[in-house]
Every structure is written in C-alpha cells, then in structure tokens.
Amino acid sequence: MARLIFPCKSSCLARTSLLGLISSAPVKRSVCSVKSISGYRCFSALEATHRRNYRFPHSLPYRARETSRRLICSIATEPLPKRVEESDMDAPKEIFLKDYKSPDYYFDTVDLRFSLGEEKTIVASKITVFPRVEGSSAPLVLDGVDLKLISIKVDGKELKEGDYHLDSRHLTLPSPPQGKFTLEIDTEIQPQNNTSLEGLYKSSGNFCTQCEAEGFRKITFYQDRPDIMAKYTCRIEADKLLYPVLLSNGNLIEQGTFEGGKHYAVWEDPFKKPCYLFALVAGQLESRDDTFVTRSGRKVALRIWTPAQDVPKTAHAMYSLKAAMKWDEDVFGLEYDLDLFNVVAVPDFNMGAMENKSLNIFNSKLVLASPETASDADYAAILGVIGHEYFHNWTGNRVTCRDWFQLSLKEGLTVFRDQEFSSDMGSRTVKRIADVSKLRNYQFPQDAGPMAHPVRPHSYIKMDNFYTVTVYEKGAEVVRMYKTLLGTQGFRKGMDLYFKRHDGQAVTCEDFFAAMKDANGVDFANFLLWYSQAGTPVVKVTSSYNAEAHTFSLKFSQEVPPTPGQPVKEPMFIPVAVGLLDSSGKDMILSSVYHNGTLQSVASNNQPVLSTVLRVTKKEEEFVFCDIFERPIPSLLRGYSAPVRLESDLSDSDLFFLLAHDSDEFNRWESGQVLARKLMLSLVADFQQSKPLTLNPKFVQGLKSILCDPSLDKEFIAKAITLPGEGEIMDMMEVADPDAVHAVRTFIRKELASQLKSEFLSTVENNRSSEEYVFDHPNMSGRALKNTALAYLGSLEDTEITELALHEYKTATNMTDQFAALSAISQKPGKTRDDVLADFYTKWQHNYLVVNKWFALQAMSNIPGNVENVRKLLNHPAFDLRNPNKVYSLIGGFCGSPVNFHAKDGSGYKFLGEIVLQLDKLNPQVASRMVSAFSRWRRFDESRQTLAKQQLETIMSANGLSENVFEIALKSLA
Ligand code: B3K
Ligand code: ZN
C-alpha cells in the first residue's frame, strides 16, 4: 500500500494514525504520512483549526477527497470549508436532505418499448415533459448509468452532439424548449451482463427488474427521483419460445405475435407512479391463479408466477396475499385498485421483495414453501413479506416519498402495518417479542455505531446503504408510538386524513405527522425529533412509595447518546405505558397522576384504568400516582411502548415477581430477559477474572416454573426460556469480549439443560408434531417449544440425547422439525454431525433454498476454527458468489458467529475482507451489506481492533471500489 508524504499545516504535534498501521506516536509537526484513500484518521486527530486546512492526497479522485472531507467535517460537526477544485464526476458524492429542490421539469406520460435480446436490449422511451414554472429555461438533467445512447429527439427532431451533454452519470439538455415538449431517447443495455441485480437483469434465464432506489437510471435516461410521478405504458417484445410470459405494471391492453418467432405485449398503468415502481418480467413462468373480491365488489385476478416445477409451492403465498387484502380492508378500509395483481418469484434478488405497482417481484425464498422444504419461520416470513409488499400499494405507491430521505415514511409505516397483520394472524405477544428482539439485536448496535443515522437520514452517498434497520424497524416503532398515544381509533383517523390529503402525491414525514396531529387535534410537542435525532435514548426510572400520602412516584431522566454528527441531543417525547401491581400480582386501579404541578385524571370515559401512558418529554420529570394504598411493583414500558433502553431500580425479586404475575405478557418476558442479561454480565465478569462459574438456583427455578406452566402459550414459553443473544450482551459491555460471552452463554445453556433435563425431555415427548403440517398458532407453538427444548438438550454430551436427536431427525415429517434436529446434532463436532450433514445435503441437493439452510447452519457454527470449513464451502459446487441468498447464508451466516468472525488471530476478518473485495466487483449492494459486519470494530479489544481496521483499510485502498462499500468502510473508519 502506497504511503503518501505531504505537508501538514499543523503546528502541533499531530498524532497521525495513518489509517491504521498507524503509529500512535507523535510525529513531527511539518509532515504527516497518510496512506490510502482519505486520510481521515489523521484528519480527525488534528485540532479543529488544522482540520479545516487539511488537504486530502491528490492521488484520490476529487470527489472522493471532497466526500471524505465533508464526512469528517459533519462527523466532527465542523463548518465545511469551501474549496474549489477540479471536477471528477466518477468519485463518490454525498447528497444532503437540506439541499432538496423541487425538480425544474415534471413528466406527464412515459411510453417505454423494450426489445429484449440475448446480446443486447434496446429501450426506447417517449416522455412528455413540462416545466414546473412556465417559461423556465433551466437545463433538463437526466440520470443514466451504464447506458449506451443511440439517439435523442426533442419534439420529433433528432439532436446532434453539441445539443446535449453526456457524462458517465447524466444526460443534460442545456436549453430544452420552453413549455411542454416530447423527449424520445433510445438506449442500448446488456441485462445478461448485469450482475449488480439492479436495473434490468437476467435471473435463471428470465428477464426481471429492480428499480428502487435508483436502478431505473440503468434502464434509460430519466429524472430518477421519486417526486417525478407519471403515467406509464410499456411495450415488451421478445422471442416467444424463450420468453412466453411478458409482464409489466397495470393492465394488459394488447398482445400479439409477429414473424421471426417473436411476440409482444403492451401494458398500461392507469396510476401515476415514480420510476422506482416500474417493473418488467419476461420468461418461462407459470402461475397459480386465484381471485379476490374486494368489499366494493371488484373482482381481482391474483397470479403468482414461478418456474413450472415450483407452482405447487405457492399455495401459502396465495393464502397470505388474500389474507393481507382482507386485513387491509378490515383494519384500514383500504381496497386494491386494479383488476390484476401479479407476484413473480425470482432466485436472484438482492433483498426480500419489491412492491412495484401490481407486479411485485419477490426473492423465491419469500414465496416458495412446502411443509417438507420450508420451516415455520419461512412460512411466517412469507406471510409478513407478502403482506408488507401488498400494503405498500397504499403506503408507498398511492402515497409515495418526496425524496429518498423520507424512506421511512413508506417503510416504517409499512413495517408497522405488516407487524400488525402478522400479530392479528398469530399471537400478538409473541410477534411483539420477536420484533423487539430484532430491534435490540440489530438496530440498537447500529444506533450505537459509526453508521448511526436518524430514522430520516440527513445525508447519504449511496441510498441503498440506508435501507436499514433504523429506517425500517425503528421507523415502525415511531409509527407504533403514534398509535400508542392516539389509540386505535385516533390512529385510524390520522391514516384516513393522510390518504385524503395525499393520495397521488410524493410527500414527507412532516405530512404524516401533520395528518396524525390534525385528525386528532393534539399537540405532540417534540415528537418530530424521532425523525431527526439518531441514537437510542437511555431512560432511567426510580420509584418511591409514600405510605402516608398513598402516593407512588416515578422519576424519569433521559439521555440520548451522541452519534456521528450529532454530539448534543434534545430530550425526546417518550410514551411510557405503565401499570402497577399489588402484592397479589393484580393490576391496581389507576385514578390520577400528579404531574407538572397539576393533578390529572387517568380515567378513560370516566372508567378507572389498569394501565396508562405517561408522556415523558423532559430531561428530568416526575409523575406521582395518587390513591395507591400499598407499595406497588411497577410494570414499566408495557408492550415496549418506546424504542429506548430502560434502566430501572427494580430489584431481582421485583423482576421475578413481574415474570410470574405481570398481566402484560410482553413485560413478563422482558423481566426474564432483564434478569438473564444481569446474570450473564455478572458471569462474564467472573469468567474474565478466571473465577468458577455457578448458576443462580433462583434463575433455574424461575425458568423451570415458566417451562412447566400449562396455562402459558407454548410459543411464549419458548421465547421466555431463550437467553438473550451474544450480540446483545456484548453490546452492554465496555469492551466486547466474544469469547467470554460465548463461554458464559454456553455454560448457562448446558447447566439449564442438565438441571432441567427431565423437564426438557418431557417437553419434547409431549409436543411432537401431528403427521399433517398445519401453519397455525397452536401447531407452530408446539413445534417451537419442542425444538427449543431439543436445542437445550443438544448442548449436553450425552449419547441418549444424540440418539433422541437422530430419531427426531429421521422421523420428522416437516422441515421445521427436521432442521431443528439437525441443528441440535450439529452443535458438537464429530462423526455423527458429519454424517447427518452429508445425509441432509444428499436428500435436498436438488432444492437450492434448502441447500442455503445447509450452508447457513455450517457457516454459523461456533466450532473453533470454522473459517476453514467455510472457505472450503466457497468451492462447493452448490455455492455461487453471484447469488445473494447464497452469500447471505454462507458469508452472512459466518459473520453471525461472534467467536469465529471475531477470532483472535484475525482469520475471520481476513476472510471477510477478501470476500468483500471479490463481491464488490459483482454486486456492490451485497458487498456493502457484508462489509457492514466490520462497522463495530471499535467495540473490541486493541488487538482485534488493529486486525479489523487493517481489513477496512485494505478495502478502502482497492481500485475501483463501489460507492456502496466506500461509504460503509469510510464511515466505519471515521
Ligand atoms: N422497497 C423494497 C426495498 C428496495 C431496496 C432497494 N435497495 C422492499 C420493501 O421494503 O418493501
Ligand atoms: Zn417495504
């Protein structure tokens, strides 16, 4: 790696860290040595005045330097110094929310004609353009990437070179006609060579598209931004034998064949849409057909398209679609608006699915299911994601986003809607527990790391990097808080007003907020901060009881930790749902609360309540409950009413009491988790001090009473006896210690398995699946509990248990049970494990979705030195680096094993570093997801930090790095 020597204007002893290799020793004042792309470590180590004068190495493209400089300034909250330098259009550029401007031109109609071919595809577009301001003479700038321009006409007249300007990202018409005009552009593209899987590409021989966020610019020149909404027609022409099915958005209005074995289809979408919702599919597909009659009597044809052999596996997806259509009518009064709804499943897809208007495209994993090949978790994911994409028809498509910063407007809201749908179709408590666990395990770490960003980010280099757990899951929590504050009816009133005001528009998060507020006539104080402040608020609660005054006080304080670019935060508006338990474990009646100098009634419709929502809005605040006649035990943040870290003064015995009695089932689970987290952290400390580990018998007893309580929901029991994940515990440590956390979690699991062996064995015996697989809550709960018990037992060195697990494996009649048995066996290395893994592969080698499970199971293994096995699997004939699902299973799975990914010798980091660079050349979006595993490197000890940082630096110094990976790696190092 080259080292660059350049003058440093510093008069101080700046400590250059040289991006890592990096001496922390002071260097001489006049010279800084910086290697690699941006020099940001050196930069951030300089004092503010020197930072402003810092110059990035000139070997870097201008924009890379400029972007690095801006990022560092924004992270350091420095005013950005102005600099005029040469332009380099190919280097990364940071886009800011504050720079949003309305477009100078709008598009009215868009006619597209695709001629699909094996060597090349021709795309002809005809757009009617009109200026935002009549008489405007602004240039018209179109986005376009990897396109070959064939011709361009304005009002039928071909433009000559010189009439327009073309660079690697844009086609600019410097002086288009004033008033309305027609723009015709022909381009050539090569979908067969498009491995990025955005724009138009081929998957298993079929053509398909993915345009969100900015993929349409890889199909034709266009104003590729969501506030350009137009009516589309699309004519597709292709070989009839190779591509018998031709699909696009809207209604099929014409089709036919012509000489040379070709045919065509013309589609018309009557709804205005942004280009990110455009879709095209062409290929050899067959469909499962059904119909849904809307509540106003519209008969909608439903079709789910897959290769012929997979059609039998689409029954559950069709069931899910019809259930989602009905649910949206029942709960939100929202009907489908066309006569046809198509879903297509493709094996090569970067994410889960895409909500293109009337032509949803799905990753096959989220459509195809049969009891033998898909697990309960797969069935549940299909239900949720089919629902999610369908719900976007209103929240995203009919009302869309003004710009990509508003992404959570559609995604947070639609995740909330799919969570509610799944809750109503199964168990509300279990779904809430699963959603909160996801938030804690994935979003909290993001909020506490270098990629922390608000639900509505302020800036991005590559929008695809912001389809995050913060925008989606935290965004859904923000929507849930409106509902918690307004109640079901108030929330519905807000939704109705939102659609009434904004149908057919591209809008902002403030518009959603205003609809909620105006529909209910409420003042939401500082609620909008949830969209602009990053970081997970820490809420501390202390309680005290006054036996003479019969009052119970809750004192709250809140703190939002600093995040990149936001060192100081304002207090947030936090709804805290609270109940008070009496000594028999029953909810006390709540009548009034003294707050802000006034006594407020908490009764609802003059009826006393058992639970209330306190509005915590200040840095410190006290609420005093009146008429409380015995010392209560408070149940705080019921249902997890706000996405915060709660620290309370509840004692262990209070927590055990809540675990046994709380009427809020979510909080019963939560109390168990708080106890487990405390226990794990204290054992980690013991482990680090080489003290012997012992398990608190009260904890074993608490878990045993849950496990053996026949009145509890079985899936709830399965969740309640599952320990917090290793990531969650590492997240709570000053310096994350993966080995200690893994050792402790393994110890507790083994100890519980051995002390509760007979209870676990009878749980397995009593919950075997019925012969016929049924996807409903009672059946799934039984399987969840049985398989959780089996997983505990699998941690024991015990031949009786190995026999049991083998028996479960062999007699399983569905994938849930078979895979659970395989996982139980796989915990311990040895011949049995190898044989069963080989047997599983032989049985399922023809099914790529099941083979992906097989890859993931091996990749996630905590067996020491597993990186070598994963390296071998890269060369397995079933593995393909071009297929995202395989990468997520094998590489993503490997990063999910803290002990192996964070192996002390750096072997895990080296492996990932190499793969990221290979992947980046094929598919930057997937590579960028993988590189994110490095982002929390600062959480670890010094030697791991050095090793991880080296990999990030190697990545940053690679030639031709994508913007996607550049942004994540740069921010991780900053
Ligand atoms: N809207 C799509 C995600 C698009 C991702 C682009 N990189 C799926 C969804 O959230 O419904
Ligand atoms: Zn979505």
Confidence of residue 33 (pLDDT cuts 50, 70, 90): very low
List, edge to edge, every strand of the sheet that includes 170-173. 140-143, 170-173, 165-166
Q: Is residue 214 within 6 Å of ligand 1 at its C-beta?
A: no
In a domain, 520, yes or no: yes
Q: Kindly state the average pLDDT of the residues 196-225.
A: 98
Do residues 413 and 503 share a domain?
yes
81-85, 148-152, 270-274, 806-810: least confidently modelled range: 81-85
Do residues 418 and 458 share a domain?
yes
Per the prediction, the chain carries an average pLDDT of: 92
Give the per-residue pLDDT at 90: 67
Best residue for ligand 1 mutational test, from 196, 211, 351, 362 (most atoms within 8 Å of Cβ): 351
pLDDT tens per residue across span 519-577: 999 998 799 999 999 999 999 999 999 999 999 999 999 999 999 999 999 999 999 99
Q: Does the active-site annotation cover 570?
A: no
**92 class by beta-carbon count within 10 Å (0-12 exposed, 13-18 middle, 19+ buried):** buried
**DSSP string covering 420-444:** HHHHHHS-HHHHHHHHHHHIIIIIH
In a domain, 188, yes or no: no
End-to-end Cα separation, the chain, in angstroms = 19
Of 41, 73, 91, the last residue of a domain is: 91
The CA 346 to ligand 2 mean position distance, Å, reads 18
Q: Kindly state the average pLDDT of the residues 327-354.
A: 98
Do residues 405 and 525 share a domain?
yes
Ligand 1 closest atom vs CA 472: 10
**DSSP string covering 705-769:** HHHT-TTS-HHHHHHHTSPPPHHHHHHTSSS--HHHHHHHHHHHHHHHHHHTHHHHHHHHHHTPP
Do residues 517 and 600 share a domain?
no
Q: Kindly state the average pLDDT of the residues 194-211.
A: 98
The CA 411 to ligand 2 mean position distance, Å, reads 5
- Number of helices (H), then strands (E), belonging to the chain: the values are 32, 35
Give the per-residue pLDDT at 810: 98
The CA 525 to ligand 2 mean position distance, Å, reads 28
Which pair of tokens denotes residue 648? 């309370």
Q: Is residue 407 within 6 Å of ligand 1 at its C-beta?
A: no
Best residue for ligand 1 mutational test, from 216, 276, 277, 355 (most atoms within 8 Å of Cβ): 355
Do residues 521 and 587 share a domain?
no
pLDDT tens per residue across span 42-84: 333 333 333 333 344 444 454 555 556 555 545 444 444 433 3
Which residue, by CA, sits nearest to atom 10 of ligand 1? 411
Which residue, by CA, sits nearest to atom 8 of ligand 1? 354
Which residue, by CA, sits nearest to atom 9 of ligand 1? 354
Ligand 1 closest atom vs CA 463: 7
Give the per-residue pLDDT at 606: 81
Q: Is residue 389 within 6 Å of ligand 1 at its C-beta?
A: yes
The CA 392 to ligand 2 mean position distance, Å, reads 7
Q: Is residue 388 within 6 Å of ligand 1 at its C-beta?
A: yes
Do residues 578 and 495 share a domain?
no
Taking the C-alpha atoms of residue 6 and residue 227, their distance in angstroms, rounded to an integer, is 45
CATH number of the domain to which 590 belongs: 2.60.40.1840
Do residues 612 and 576 share a domain?
yes
Which residue, by CA, sits nearest to atom 5 of ligand 1? 212
Which residue, by CA, sits nearest to atom 7 of ligand 1? 464
Taking the C-alpha atoms of residue 59 and residue 62, their distance in angstroms, rounded to an integer, is 9
Give the per-residue pLDDT at 67: 57
Q: How many structural domains compose the chain?
A: 3
Q: Which residues contact 310 (CB under 8 A, 6 or more apart)?
A: 345, 364, 368
In a domain, 36, yes or no: yes
The CA 627 to ligand 2 mean position distance, Å, reads 47
Which residue, by CA, sits nearest to atom 1 of ligand 1? 354
Do residues 488 and 588 share a domain?
no
Query: Residue 926: nearest ligand to its CA?
Result: 1
Looking up tokens 């966020």 gives 213
Do residues 499 and 604 share a domain?
no
**407 class by beta-carbon count within 10 Å (0-12 exposed, 13-18 middle, 19+ buried):** buried
Best residue for ligand 1 mutational test, from 212, 419, 460, 968 (most atoms within 8 Å of Cβ): 212
Of 53, 74, 91, the last residue of a domain is: 91
Q: Is residue 473 within 6 Å of ligand 1 at its C-beta?
A: no
In a domain, 674, yes or no: no
Give the per-residue pLDDT at 843: 98
**DSSP string covering 15-63:** B--GGGT---SB--TTEEEEESS--HHHHHHS-HHHHHH----TTS-HH
Of 57, 74, 91, the last residue of a domain is: 91
Confidence of residue 327 (pLDDT cuts 50, 70, 90): very high
Ligand 1 closest atom vs CA 411: 10
Do residues 603 and 489 share a domain?
no
Q: Is the pLDDT higher at 672 or at 44?
A: 672
Q: Is residue 355 within 6 Å of ligand 1 at its C-beta?
A: yes
* CA–centroid distance for 596 within its chain: 39
Ligand 1 closest atom vs CA 212: 6
Which pair of tokens denotes residue 818? 């078979």
The CA 76 to ligand 2 mean position distance, Å, reads 33
In a domain, 601, yes or no: yes
Query: Residue 355: nearest ligand to its CA?
Result: 1
Give the per-residue pLDDT at 15: 24
Do residues 500 and 410 share a domain?
yes
Q: Residue 86 above 50 pLDDT?
A: no
Taking the C-alpha atoms of residue 948 and residue 942, their distance in angstroms, rounded to an integer, is 10
Q: Is residue 464 within 6 Å of ligand 1 at its C-beta?
A: yes
Which residue, by CA, sits nearest to atom 2 of ligand 1? 354
Q: Is residue 354 within 6 Å of ligand 1 at its C-beta?
A: yes
Q: Is residue 411 within 6 Å of ligand 1 at its C-beta?
A: yes
Give the per-residue pLDDT at 63: 53
Confidence of residue 769 (pLDDT cuts 50, 70, 90): confident
CATH number of the domain to which 509 belongs: 1.10.390.10
Active-site residue identified among 389, 473, 726, 967? 389
Confidence of residue 607 (pLDDT cuts 50, 70, 90): confident
The CA 354 to ligand 1 mean position distance, Å, reads 5
Do residues 528 and 406 share a domain?
yes
Confidence of residue 493 (pLDDT cuts 50, 70, 90): very high
Give the per-residue pLDDT at 154: 98
In a domain, 638, yes or no: yes
Give the per-residue pLDDT at 525: 78
Burial of 157-172, coded b for 16+ CB within 10 Å and e otherwise, reads eeeeeeebeeeeebbe
In a domain, 510, yes or no: yes
Taking the C-alpha atoms of residue 783 and residue 374, their distance in angstroms, rounded to an integer, is 14
Q: Is residue 467 within 6 Å of ligand 1 at its C-beta?
A: yes
In a domain, 183, yes or no: no
Looking up tokens 């089996």 gives 790
Query: Residue 417: nearest ligand to its CA?
Result: 2
The CA 731 to ligand 2 mean position distance, Å, reads 28
pLDDT tens per residue across span 843-868: 999 999 999 999 999 999 999 999 99
Ligand 1 closest atom vs CA 392: 11
Taking the C-alpha atoms of residue 148 and residue 217, their distance in angstroms, rounded to an integer, is 12
pLDDT tens per residue across span 473-491: 999 999 999 999 999 999 9
How far is CA 801 from each of CA 233, 745, 840, 863, 958, rounded to the nearest angstrom?
A: 62, 20, 19, 19, 50
Give the per-residue pLDDT at 66: 56
Ligand 1 closest atom vs CA 464: 7
The CA 928 to ligand 1 mean position distance, Å, reads 15
Q: Which domain holds residue 12?
A: 3-91
The CA 376 to ligand 2 mean position distance, Å, reads 22
Q: Kindly state the average pLDDT of the residues 264-281.
A: 99
Ligand 1 closest atom vs CA 396: 1
